[in-house]
Structure 1
């Protein structure tokens, strides 16, 4: 799912780099998405995907120059489905090039996580910010059905992943 670069709310120039959280706040504003600072080093917003609305969090680790992006599809795994969910996570993560899916041990919340090492200047371009958000939402959308098939459809993790990937390949 390619998100439009600019909706006219703010001007974003691809040649301008900014501090990571500031760039993401500008990007969210340009799209008209809600976003707020949780702390000096964290923002939280919400983006509508194909299957659900996703909470997006970005955490800046200044000392390491690492931006961690979390995308939460608001899926909680009940205790009786944890084994199947972990098996599905392993199968899904084998398919991933960027980021990975994980499950919080406390509460069973599923999430997509990706860390960007931004180098010594710690700056983020608009194109990299856009790509990072696009990737998080696209991956959550791509695998959302597999999680639903395991959690609510009682499919095996392997069958759920196969069915989800076939459905995604068939969409135009």
Structure 2
């Protein structure tokens, strides 16, 4: 016997990527805006700060690119330390990676999800994509703060952030 929830799940698994993300954001109560048929943005509260999340669908490649911006700007004098930290942080990731945009010096988490030939995003995929982005931004946010505001070395900042994260309950 199928319930209404099961019907939603079944229908949701057949959605276009932007539509699926819009439904997920709506269900979670996250403010969002469908920018176009191929782009959506949302604001999601993490453990440390709120994140601007942007998803862009490239139908010609069947790729959904997710950007998660933790509102961290890297000043010119901290760029070398930030890039050193990025290299160490990216070694810890299985999915996605962190970058510093050359225009504006913003730290960004990026992940490209290759979808099947149908170009459809399932509910589980959508949840996993968003949760992974927010979790990784939360996990490494303190390390960026330690480098940019605490004048720690990249190695010390990462070690401190990992100890803090391990101590959280």
- TM-score under structure 2 length normalisation: 0.93
When the two chains are superposed, the root-mean-square deviation of aligned CA atoms in Å is 1.4
Are residues 74 and 14 of structure 1, via their aligned partners in 2, closer, same or farther at CA, if it must alter by over 3 Å? Answer: farther
1:38 Cα offset (Å): 1.8
1:4 is matched with none
User: Counterparts in 2 of 1:80-95, with a 5 A limit?
Assistant: 80-95=77-92
Structure 1 residue ranges (4+ consecutive) displaced by more than 2 angstroms after TM superposition: 14-17
- TM-score under structure 1 length normalisation: 0.92
- Alignment partners' CA distance in 1, 2:93 and 2:14: 27
1:167 Cα offset (Å): 0.4
1:12 Cα offset (Å): 4.2
Are residues 12 and 168 of structure 1, via their aligned partners in 2, closer, same or farther at CA, if it must alter by over 3 Å? Answer: farther
Matching residue within 148, 156, 164 for 1:151: 148
Matching residue within 119, 123, 142 for 1:122: 119
What runs of 5+ residues in structure 2 fail to find an aligned partner?
A: none
Provide the aligned length of Structure 1 versus Structure 2. Answer: 163
1:19 is matched with 16
- Alignment partners' CA distance in 2, 1:167 and 1:76: 22
Greater Rg by CA: 2
What runs of 5+ residues in structure 1 fail to find an aligned partner?
A: 1-7
CA contact 1:12–1:26 (8 Å) conserved in 2: no
